[in-house]
A and B are shown apart, each in its own frame.
Chain A
Amino acid sequence: MLEIKNISKTFGDRQVLYDISGSFRPGQTSLIIGGSGTGKSVLLKCMIGLVKPDSGEVLYDGRNFLADNEEEQKVIRREMGVLFQGSALFDSKTVLENVRFPLDMLTDMSAGEKNERAQVCLQRVGLEGAGDRMPSEISGGMKKRVGIARAIVLNPKYLFCDEPNSGLDPLTSIKIDQLIKEITDEYQITTIVITHDMNSMLEIGEKIIFLYQGKKLWEGDSDSIVHSTIPELNDFIYANKLLREMEK
Chain B
Amino acid sequence: MLMSHIGKYFIFLGTLFTNREKAGVYYRLVMDECISIGIRSIFIVSIVSTFIGAVTCVQTAYNLVSPLVPLYIISVIVRDSTILELAPTITSIVLAGKVGSNIAGQLGTMRITEQIDALEVIGINSSSYLVLPKVIAAMLMFPLLVILAGFLSIWGGYIAGTLADIITPQDYIFGLRSGFNTFSVPFAIIKSVVFAFLIATISAYQGYNARGGALEVGNASTTAVTNSCIAVLAADFLLAQLLL
Where the two chains meet, the residues of A that have a C-beta atom closer than 8 Å to any C-beta of B are: 48-50, 70, 73-74, 77-78, 80, 82, 84-86, 88-91, 102, 105-106, 154
Q: In the bound complex, what is the Cα–Cα distance between A78 and B121 (angstroms)?
A: 9
Q: Distance (Å) between the CB of B160 and the closest chain A CB?
A: 41
Out of A49, A84, A102, A154, which one reaches B114, CB within 8 Å? A84
Q: Distance (Å) between the CB of A188 and the closest chain B CB?
A: 21
A78 touches B122 (CB 8 A): yes
**Which residues of B from 112 to 148 have beta carbons under 8 Å from A?**
113-115, 117-118, 120-124
Q: In the bound complex, what is the Cα–Cα distance between A248 and B200 (angstroms)?
A: 62
Q: Could you show 23 A-B contacts with beta carbons less than 8 Å apart? A: A48-B121, A50-B117, A50-B121, A70-B19, A73-B123, A74-B123, A77-B121, A77-B122, A78-B123, A80-B121, A82-B118, A85-B114, A86-B113, A86-B114, A88-B113, A88-B114, A88-B118, A90-B118, A91-B110, A91-B113, A102-B122, A105-B122, A106-B123
The closest CB in chain A to the CB of B22 belongs to A105
A84 touches B117 (CB 8 A): yes
Q: Distance (Å) between the CB of A157 and the closest chain B CB?
A: 14
A49 touches B121 (CB 8 A): yes
Q: In the bound complex, what is the Cα–Cα distance between A105 and B121 (angstroms)?
A: 12
Does B239 have its Cβ within 8 Å of any Cβ on chain A?
A: no
Contact partners of B25 in chain A: CB under 8 A = 105
B121 touches A82 (CB 8 A): yes
A106 touches B120 (CB 8 A): no
Q: In the bound complex, what is the Cα–Cα distance between A82 and B117 (angstroms)?
A: 10
A84 touches B118 (CB 8 A): yes
Q: How many residues of B contact A (CB 8 A)?
A: 15
Q: In the bound complex, what is the Cα–Cα distance between A154 and B122 (angstroms)?
A: 10
Contact partners of B113 in chain A: CB under 8 A = 86, 88, 91
Q: Distance (Å) between the CB of A37 and the closest chain B CB?
A: 16
Q: In the bound complex, what is the Cα–Cα distance between A205 and B66 (angstroms)?
A: 90
Contact partners of B19 in chain A: CB under 8 A = 70
Out of A73, A78, A91, A102, which one reaches B115, CB within 8 Å? A91
B115 touches A90 (CB 8 A): yes
A-B pairs under 8 A by CB, number: 45
Q: Distance (Å) between the CB of B180 and the closest chain A CB?
A: 45
Q: In the bound complex, what is the Cα–Cα distance between A86 and B122 (angstroms)?
A: 17
Where the two chains meet, the residues of B that have a C-beta atom closer than 8 Å to any C-beta of A are: 19, 21, 25, 109-110, 113-115, 117-118, 120-124
Contact partners of A82 in chain B: CB under 8 A = 117-118, 121
Q: Distance (Å) between the CB of A106 and the closest chain B CB?
A: 7
Q: Distance (Å) between the CB of B197 and the closest chain A CB?
A: 24
Q: Distance (Å) between the CB of A164 and the closest chain B CB?
A: 13
Contact partners of B123 in chain A: CB under 8 A = 73-74, 77-78, 106
Q: In the bound complex, what is the Cα–Cα distance between A70 and B21 (angstroms)?
A: 14
Q: Distance (Å) between the CB of A185 and the closest chain B CB?
A: 23
Q: In the bound complex, what is the Cα–Cα distance between A74 and B122 (angstroms)?
A: 7
- Besides A82-B118, A91-B113, 4 more A-B contacts (Cβ < 8 Å) are A49-B121, A86-B113, A90-B118, A105-B124
Q: Distance (Å) between the CB of B90 and the closest chain A CB?
A: 30
Q: Distance (Å) between the CB of B203 and the closest chain A CB?
A: 18
B122 touches A106 (CB 8 A): yes
Contact partners of B114 in chain A: CB under 8 A = 84-86, 88
Q: Distance (Å) between the CB of A247 and the closest chain B CB?
A: 36
The closest CB in chain A to the CB of B118 belongs to A88
The 8 closest A-B pairs by CB, nearest first: A88-B114, A77-B123, A88-B118, A74-B123, A84-B114, A82-B121, A88-B115, A102-B122
Q: Distance (Å) between the CB of A190 and the closest chain B CB?
A: 15
Q: In the bound complex, what is the Cα–Cα distance between A50 and B117 (angstroms)?
A: 7
A105 touches B118 (CB 8 A): no
Contact partners of B124 in chain A: CB under 8 A = 105
Q: In the bound complex, what is the Cα–Cα distance between A86 and B25 (angstroms)?
A: 26
Q: Distance (Å) between the CB of B108 and the closest chain A CB?
A: 13
Contact partners of B117 in chain A: CB under 8 A = 50, 82, 84, 88
Q: Distance (Å) between the CB of B123 and the closest chain A CB?
A: 4
Q: Distance (Å) between the CB of B243 and the closest chain A CB?
A: 39
Out of B109, B115, B120, which one reaches A50, CB within 8 Å? B120
Q: Distance (Å) between the CB of A61 and the closest chain B CB?
A: 17
Q: Distance (Å) between the CB of B201 and the closest chain A CB?
A: 21
Q: In the bound complex, what is the Cα–Cα distance between A85 and B113 (angstroms)?
A: 9
